[in-house]
Amino acid sequence: MVKWKDKKEFWISGGKLADPAAGKIRSGSVLVQKGLITEIQWQKKVETDLPVLDVEGRLLAPGFIDIHTHLREPGDEDKETIASGTAAAMAGGYTSILCMANTDPVVDDPSVVEYIIRRAEAAGNCRVYVTGAVTKGIKGDHISEFFHLKKAGIVALSDDGKYIDNSRVMRTALEYAGMLGLPVIAHCEDTYLTDESQMNESYVSTRLGLKGAHTASEEIAVARDIRLAELTGAHLHIAHVSAAGSLGLIKAAKEKGIRVTAEASPHHLTLDESMLETYDRNLKVNPPLRGSADISALRSALKDGTIDCIATDHAPHTDIDKQVEFDFAPPGMTGLETAFAQLHTELVITGELELIDLIRMMTTGPADVIGLPGGRLQEGEPADLVLIDPGEEWVYKKEIIRSKACNSPLVGKKFTGRVQGVFLEGRWRSAVS
Ligand SMILES: [Zn+2]
């Protein structure tokens, strides 16, 4: 495959094409010229004198887009760097990611935005879009200079990891963000109710002796933010929804015409709170893993349009960070390298979700939420594509991890369906070698 790296003009042919906008997977061929998709033919083989990359048995889709990645740089380069995080993204089939603002320094100043964009360009692994902090220092008190951040290149605002407790600050933020056309991504957990919690509040938390956070902590936060989105008319995007009650609120808001969108993470869709019986610190996340009723509600919400997209919340931590008592371990798990395989194995192979719907949730879905380019199979667009072998069985081993961090509860797990690599503007990057 390596020889394809330098071909400037070639057909990708012989396999299936996933067209998420049309909702179809069918035989087809794509012509790539100078980094762009210049022709799509809906037939398996093409008559051509140009070089042909034969992808028999495999699936070509628009490159995945993750709108919730923590790259940790600047500030926490021991956990992840822009280079290692984007390498992990590429290995997971992502050609675009949106990085979060809770770095050190926080992305509340144009110089930090420029720094991230420059470093991402130097790494050259995938496109990196930047989120600006809603409040200065992510302290929740005073809003950042949205206009200057937007001029520097941010495409969304978020204090992710922290809920903005002060309703007046959130209202002001939504008013200004709305004027600038920037979505506000909210981490919805009422901090007074989640204080010192380690997992979901339930029978399991009582049995394990861990302090729990009730789903009400999320639902209350979602309800307030939806009300403020209605009041201001701004676009509110709710990150990593985990509770069935939140889904009801989001669904009702959408029916009312309020500008609210929502994402679900691969871990909230597939991992159960009972897994915490092992006290695996890599299962500690915010919001916490929930019980089976919430998980099945979340899965239904993928299908009825309440959830708009899948986002990883890739949150790298070092082994040392996590090798402490459960109560002191920082929340978060990595996700970029396993998202597709995990959801394909747990939801598509089992017949619960159509493959094209999973792909849509990882391409056009996230692109539409933030208003990013890409996510579509279209002539004239950059050739940002992912090549998948849907039948390949593989094990997610520590040795193959491209992220600097290994804090995933999925290490050692066997998956069906593997990302083989991506084309970024037509340049091939293998994910498996
Ligand atoms: Zn969050």
121, part of any domain? yes
pLDDT tier for residue 3 given thresholds of 50, 70 and 90: low
Tens of pLDDT, residue by residue over 224-258, are 999 999 999 999 999 999 999 999 999 999 999 99
Q: Is 350 helix (H, G, I), strand (E, B) or coil?
A: coil
Expressed in angstroms and rounded, the spacing between residue 33 Cα and the centre of ligand 1 is 39
Percent of the chain with pLDDT over 90: 97
Report pLDDT digits (tens) over 251-290.
Answer: 999 999 999 999 999 999 999 999 999 999 999 999 999 9
pLDDT, one tens digit per residue, over 12-30 is 999 999 999 999 999 999 9
Phi, psi of 158 (to 5 degrees): -165, 145
Are 285 and 309 in a shared domain? yes
The CATH number assigned to the domain holding 127 equals 3.20.20.140
Distance 191 CA to ligand 1 centre (A): 12
| Assigned domain for 328 exists | yes
424 CA → ligand 1 middle, Å: 28
pLDDT above 80: residue 405:
yes
pLDDT per residue as tens digits for the range 324-345: 999 999 999 999 999 999 999 9
Instruction: Tell whether omega for the bond before 330 is within 30 degrees of 0, i.e. cis.
Output: no
Alpha-carbon gap, residue 39 to 354, rounded angstroms? 26
pTM of model > 0.85? yes
Answer yes or no: do 207 and 169 share one domain.
Answer: yes
Residue range 102-157, pLDDT digits in tens: 999 999 999 999 999 999 999 999 999 999 999 999 999 999 999 999 999 999 99
Is residue 256 located within the same domain as residue 126? yes
My answer on whether 236 and 181 are in the same domain is yes
Cα(159) to ligand 1 centroid in Å equals 8
**Residues 319, 308: Cα–Cα separation, whole Å:** 33
- Same-domain status, 51 and 69: no
Q: Would residue 108 show up in a list of annotated catalytic residues for this protein?
A: no
> pLDDT grade, residue 433 (50/70/90)?
confident
Section 367-377 average pLDDT:
97
Verify that 53 and 67 share a domain, yes or no: no
User: In this structure, is residue 376 part of a structural domain?
Assistant: no
Q: Provide the domain count of the chain.
A: 2
Separation of CA 35 and ligand 1 centre (Å): 34
Specify whether the CB–CB gap between 236 and 229 falls below 8 A: yes
Separation of alpha carbons 90 and 107, rounded Å? 23
What CATH number is attached to the domain comprising 411? 2.30.40.10
Q: Across-strand partners of 57? A: none
Q: Summarize the confidence of residues 391-417 as an average pLDDT.
A: 97
**Does a cis peptide bond (omega within 30 degrees of 0) precede residue 287?**
yes
Q: How far is the CA of 393 from the centre of ligand 1 (A)?
A: 31
Same domain, 401 and 293: no
Judgement on whether residues 90 and 202 belong to the same structural domain of the protein: yes
Catalytic residue among 313, 321, 384, 389: 313
Q: Which residue has the tokens 């089976």?
A: 292
Q: Give the Å distances, CA to CA, from 297 to 218, 256, 302, 399.
A: 15, 21, 9, 35
Residues 32 and 86 in one domain: no
Burial 94-130, CB ≥16 within 10 A → b, else e: bbbbbbbbbbeebbbbbebbebbbebbeebebbbbbb
Same-domain pairing of 106 and 248: yes
Q: Summarize the confidence of residues 27-56 as an average pLDDT.
A: 94
Q: pLDDT tier at 184 (50, 70, 90 boundaries)? A: very high
Res 8: pLDDT: 84
- Please give the mean pLDDT across all residues of the chain: 96
- Would you say how long the chain is, in residues? 433
Last residue of a domain, one of 370, 396, 418: 370
Using DSSP's 3-state secondary structure scheme, residue 332 falls into: coil
The answer on 319 and 289 residing in a single domain is: yes
Q: 1 pLDDT exceeds 50?
A: no
Predicted confidence at residue 4, as pLDDT, reads 56
Asked whether residue 45 falls in the same domain as residue 89, the answer is no
16: containing domain: 2-60+381-430
Asked if residue 375 belongs to a domain, the reply is: no
